[in-house]
Structure 1
Amino acid sequence: MLATPGVLPSPVGEDRWAFEVKQDGQRAMIYLPGDGTVLVRARSGTDITAAYPELLPLADACGGRPAVLDGEIVALDGQGRSDFERLQQRMGLAGSPARAARMAARVPAHLMLFDVVHLGGRPVTGLPYAERRELLEGLGLVGAAWSTPAAIVGHGAQAWETIRNAGLEGLLAKRLTSRYEPGARSKAWIKIRFVRTTDVVVGGWVPGRGGLAGLPGAVLVGEQLGGQLHYAGSVGTGWSRTERTRLAGLLHVAATDTCPFAEIPPVGGAQWVLPRLVGEVGYATRTRAGRLRHPSWHRLRPDLAPSDLA
């Protein structure tokens, strides 16, 4: 079951919602047949059990009671926050158990459990969220590599303020009466990201495909540091077609054969422009290299010149 992007539910009636911290990791379904084995599948259905050997002891965590659990595998930073860039070192290792075991010692993974969809040999997807949550918490699943983070009923504004001050990515609001809808992106689950904004300089673009042929599929942006333009990421969402068309005209006028970034970005098919267009983008977090994660275009800033950002 997937969440729909949205905003916090109104304070009026917010007691009909539970709020969970939005984790930044790899979604996983955990299958516990009750026979001493465990199977971990990614959202795609791929078997990723071997990539996370620290989760193997989960096989006995339910005391032989069969269960299917929903959760997010994360890697935590020094402050206990999920760090997707750190987790990427653990992903894709299912085909190399020996390397996965070595990486587990260097970058431990942790499973955040938030739902149960099958328990004791019967599906529980038809039960409301509040009842499923009670079943999940009743399992007492707390271990060195897994936990069941709290869900708070009501108090959405306070929860939002807390996660924002803690530098977390966002919240998930889940309607207490909602059933579990496998494969659906449901409005009964709402993901609310804390969006930060920054002003950037456009240094290049990548042509779109299909219906976007001739228009920018994404722009390559940077930030002024030490008198140089440092690549900050690729932004491919946030425009209407009218805005893309207008931006395409500006990009063609500013075309150049010289890359304006201090280091050439690893982007295939990039076309460079003179670094004179300034835009405002929203983003969720940054990587340790300073790249923007989940960036989205907000608007052009014709009132600003690149020199204003130095």
Structure 2
Amino acid sequence: MTLPLIPPMLATPGALPAAVQDARWAYETKQDGQRVVAYLEGDGSVLLRARSGEDITGAYPELRPLGSALGGTPAVLDGEVLALDAEGRADFQLLQSRMGLAHAPGKAERQAAKVPVHLVLFDVLHLGNKNLTSLPYTRRRVQLERLGLDGPFWSTPTALVGHGEQALQATREHGLEGLVCKRLDSVYEPGVRSRAWIKIRNMRSEDVVVGGWLPGRGRLSGLPGAVLVGQRAAGRLRYVGNVGTGWSEAERSQIAALLGAAATDVCPFDPVPRVAGAHWVVPRLVGEVRYSTRTRAGLLRQPSWLRLRPDLAPEDASADIPDARPDPLS
């Protein structure tokens, strides 16, 4: 690849900018999919890299024609791969059937026929022989829109300048995941979680790492009754609670198989939580959970399982957690 490798810029969780600052921000719908950076060499090829840097091009064969969408002009584009439900909304559970197939071309082709994806593009990082990351958002956005990238499996949604409160309310009314606020004068910061981009989720959720599990009882005998989850803080995996609801029967069986393959005698949490009957696993499985609030000790209240996040690495599940000792209770 002759184009520069550019890791994606990340948004920081937060709230809407103050009303007096509203006109200095652009607002884009927060999409519920897999983040990708697309590399178009200008020779008809396209390379898709996940947020982790992994080459996932083979998982999405319907996006191959994007490689010739700009003719001979090389480009690096930032976007999100979505799978849409019957109402045209992004559905991450549908997308999961498409993920992880980068090295299984036959299966990827079959799944593409059943669950086609759509790539939404929201930034251009390199164009021709010029790196655009040092340009402000407004200038990059103009460049992106001039490219006219709207095809059978990709599009360039509009961004709204100002009117953040109305934009956020519209995402809630339409059942969308949330909003991303981008400062108009912000440069693109590769690989940085920046305050120049703020993400607002319409549901309170967190990415967590599974570090153990508790056996189920009754009809759940032989399956996990709950998983023990943590988040990275100050260089260690901190325990933040146990999650025993939110799964379908199929999901619980799937997670049971993954936990069995990751069994270990070593507790990955620091400090070790006092949880009777716990089985420990190598902390490599990432999931997303919904919760009501967080305790002063950093534990999640009333957490329920939302989904697996195979697109994230364990290091991505981090949080600011109070350094509470002695060891937390379950």
**TM-score, length basis structure 2:** 0.66
> Does 2:35 match 1:13?
no
**TM-superposed deviation, 1:122:** 0.9
* 1:232-251 paired onto structure 2 within 5 Å: none
1:13 match: secondary structure? helix
Q: In structure 1, what residue type is equivalent to 2:134?
A: G
Q: In structure 2, what residue type is equivalent to 1:220?
A: V
1:101 match: secondary structure? helix
In 2, the alpha carbon distance for the partners of 1:157 and 1:95 equals 43
**TM-superposed deviation, 1:220:** 2.3
In 1, the alpha carbon distance for the partners of 2:16 and 2:241 equals 29
In 2, the alpha carbon distance for the partners of 1:193 and 1:207 equals 21
2:19 match: secondary structure? coil
* 1:268-279 paired onto structure 2 within 5 Å: none
1:164 match: secondary structure? helix
In 2, the alpha carbon distance for the partners of 1:162 and 1:208 equals 33
In 2, the alpha carbon distance for the partners of 1:175 and 1:117 equals 16
In 1, the alpha carbon distance for the partners of 2:155 and 2:230 equals 42
> Residue 30 of structure 1 contacts residue 40 of structure 1 at CA under 8 Å; is this kept in 2?
yes
In 2, the alpha carbon distance for the partners of 1:175 and 1:10 equals 12
**TM-superposed deviation, 1:208:** 6.5
Task: Describe the shift of the 1:144–1:217 C-alpha distance in structure 2 as closer, same or farther (beyond 3 A).
Answer: same
Report the count of equivalent residues.
Answer: 252
> Residue 229 of structure 2 contacts residue 243 of structure 2 at CA under 8 Å; is this kept in 1?
no
**TM-superposed deviation, 1:175:** 0.2
> Does 2:64 match 1:79?
no
Deviations along 1:21-75, whole A, 9 cap, x unmatched? 0011111111111111111111121111111111111111112211110000110
In 1, the alpha carbon distance for the partners of 2:281 and 2:197 equals 36
> Residue 120 of structure 2 contacts residue 156 of structure 2 at CA under 8 Å; is this kept in 1?
yes
- For structure 1, which runs of at least 5 residues remain unmatched after alignment? 224-229, 234-244, 260-265, 270-278, 288-293, 297-310
**TM-superposed deviation, 1:81:** 1.1
What is aligned with 1:218? 241
1:206 to 211, 228, 237: 228
Deviations along 1:205-239, whole A, 9 cap, x unmatched? 638799999x854212338xxxxxx99x9xxxxxx
In 2, the alpha carbon distance for the partners of 1:92 and 1:127 equals 34
> Residue 44 of structure 2 contacts residue 71 of structure 2 at CA under 8 Å; is this kept in 1?
no
**TM-superposed deviation, 1:150:** 1.2
What is aligned with 1:57? 65
What is aligned with 1:111? 119
What is aligned with 1:132? 140
In 2, the alpha carbon distance for the partners of 1:75 and 1:104 equals 10
What is aligned with 2:105? 97
What is aligned with 1:150? 158
* 1:145-184 paired onto structure 2 within 5 Å: 145-184=153-192
Larger Rg: 1
Q: In structure 1, what residue type is equivalent to 2:28?
A: E
What is aligned with 1:46? 54
In 1, the alpha carbon distance for the partners of 2:193 and 2:201 equals 16
In 1, the alpha carbon distance for the partners of 2:229 and 2:204 equals 26
> Residue 28 of structure 1 contacts residue 42 of structure 1 at CA under 8 Å; is this kept in 2?
yes
Q: In structure 1, what residue type is equivalent to 2:137?
A: Y
What is aligned with 2:36? 28
**TM-superposed deviation, 1:149:** 1.0
**TM-superposed deviation, 1:267:** 9.0
CA RMSD of aligned residues (A): 3.9
**TM-superposed deviation, 1:89:** 0.5
What is aligned with 2:314? none
Q: In structure 1, what residue type is equivalent to 2:76?
A: V
Identity %: 54
> Residue 196 of structure 1 contacts residue 282 of structure 1 at CA under 8 Å; is this kept in 2?
no
> Does 2:166 match 1:123?
no
2:191 match: secondary structure? coil
Task: Describe the shift of the 1:128–1:207 C-alpha distance in structure 2 as closer, same or farther (beyond 3 A).
Answer: closer
- For structure 2, which runs of at least 5 residues remain unmatched after alignment? 1-8, 206-213, 215-224, 247-251, 256-270, 283-299, 308-316, 320-330
